[in-house]
Amino acid sequence: MDINLRLFSRLSQWVNTFFAPKATLKTESDDAQKGLISLKTIANQYQPKTGQDPINETMSSQSIYTAEDFVGREAQTKQISDVINLWCNHHGEISAIVAPAGAGLSAFLGQLPSILASLNAQTQDSSTSKAKPLPKKRLIMSFYNAPLSASDAIANVCYCFNIPPPEVMTDTTITDIIIAINQLPAQLIVIDDLHKLMLRMMGNAQALVTFATIVMETRKHHCWILGCEKFAWQRLSAQYQITHFIKHVITFDYFNAKELASIQTKQLVDLGLIGDDYLTQETDKAEPNQTQKSSEATHTESEKNDEVNPYDDQLKQLYMISQGHPKLAKLLLQYSLTHQADIAQSSSNNKSDNGSKNNSNKVTDNNSKQCTDICKVNASVLPLCQDNDLFSLAEIYIHGGLRVAQHAHIFAQTIEQSSLQLAYLARQGLIIAQYSQRDFAQHFYFITPALSKIIASHLVNNNKLFN
């Protein structure tokens, strides 16, 4: 009887575990106790919009990022300033800014209004009468639907300038549109997510040619700046020779350790874990080396700098795990602080198993460094993906997202097959879904933003993306 009761008790526990929410039990508890965070947990941090409206718009204005809290990119800011100055001096050419997904490309493009304001202040102080004035109107746009015909491309460009697209295509339509655009006041047109224009479906090649032609013929009058993801840019270069008509290419990568530490220090201040003083210390460290003063002043300064950030070790961990990816680093810090009890227990268990030789590395005095461990990413799902899954991830990555119907077209399979395959990848946390309430073929899937570097690195190592 005793044995039977134990059997029923364990059976009851198994039933409760089976029917309990899997995300909570598996990702929030089991992985946290192992000092890990699963891909599904990372994906669950995002709340994508539902419904059909957000994914059926042609284009949308991007939110403007303020200069406050913007970190790094000094060399790229200087380069884009030079490009705009060249345009003002009648050397207008198309420019592109290329960066890997999640490295802050949209945030950098959002700095263009402040860069223009700075250049405007400089031109007012100088007497360059031959230079044309900076564009007063600026627009930052992103494409939602890739054009699949010349008429679609023309309609998208017309949207940029708020002019009605032609109702009927004729032999002179493109010429008429170019003339109309060049008669408008000069504008700064920024197209973010250029890779969303390159959809590998019938008709897209002609659409790209039409778009490129209009941009080329209006580049002297309007200042065009295009933003594109790194791997998509390489494909555009190989398949469409995009570098033949884009003159200036500005590149940057993920943040280095110093830049990421500056970003995360601001996050720690916002969370109330450290004071504002550490932000000023980070700024002082970023200043160029000044001439050394007297030995007494140097000694006093060194004593002041001894008060390092109490989360300095954690900032180093964040960089090692995230490899400079700002969204992943932010998510890891928040998750680690929330689940510190489970992570610390796992860490202490590991230390007790390995002996006490490392016990002196962490001190828990009130005036010492914090004893916060940063969880690692559990990416064990990726090696289990088959080739067809990896090819799907590569196409979703390159395009900035795909609908079910688009995925089916690219891979020459049924919509039902694509729906099941994409749903599987979403359940693993590798991609996130925007669901359409009207048609499952219009469900839109995109790479989990915080995982873009991890997934891209795995795809490169498996020859699905190419440097």
List, for residues 387-409, the tens digit of each pLDDT value: 999 999 999 999 989 999 999 99
Q: What is the pLDDT of residue 354?
A: 52
Q: What is the pLDDT of residue 208?
A: 87
* Mean pLDDT to the nearest integer, 329-341: 85
Architecture of domain 74-251: 3-Layer(aba) Sandwich (3.40)
Cβ atoms within 10 Å of 436's Cβ, excluding its own? 20
Residues of the chain with CATH 1.10.10.10: 382-461
Element (H, E) at 298: helix 295-305
Nearest to 337 by CA among 434, 407, 264, 413: 264
Q: How far apart are CA 37 and CA 394, in angstroms?
A: 23
Torsions phi, psi of 188, nearest 5? Answer: -100, 110
Residues of the chain with CATH 3.40.50.300: 74-251
Q: How far apart are CA 88 and CA 123, in angstroms?
A: 10
Residue 86, Cα to own-chain centre: how many angstroms? 29
Q: How far apart are CA 57 and CA 145, in angstroms?
A: 7
What single-letter amino acid sits at 302? S
Range with lowest mean pLDDT among 20-34, 64-78, 180-194, 349-363: 349-363
- Cβ 188 vs Cβ 112: under 8 Å: yes
Let me know if domain 382-461 sits in CATH 1.20.1080.10. Answer: no
Which position has the higher pLDDT, 364 or 70? 70
Taking each helix axis from N to C end, the angle separating 452-461 and 387-399, rounded to the nearest 10 degrees, works out to 130
Element (H, E) at 229: strand 223-229
- Cβ 29 vs Cβ 342: under 8 Å: yes
> CB-based contacts of 48: which residues, under 8 Å, 6+ apart?
432, 433, 434
Confidence of residue 363 (pLDDT cuts 50, 70, 90): very low
Q: What is the pLDDT of residue 125?
A: 61
Confidence of residue 359 (pLDDT cuts 50, 70, 90): very low
Cβ atoms within 10 Å of 70's Cβ, excluding its own? 16
Q: Choose the most confident range, by mean pLDDT, from 152-161, 265-274, 345-354.
A: 152-161
Cα 67 to Cα 123, 261, 263: the distances in Å are 20, 18, 13
Cβ atoms within 10 Å of 273's Cβ, excluding its own? 16
- Cβ 193 vs Cβ 233: under 8 Å: no
Q: How far apart are CA 212 and CA 234, in angstroms?
A: 17
Nearest to 430 by CA among 373, 391, 375: 391
Token digits of residue 49: 């919009």
Q: Give yes or no for residue 161 having a pLDDT over 90.
A: no
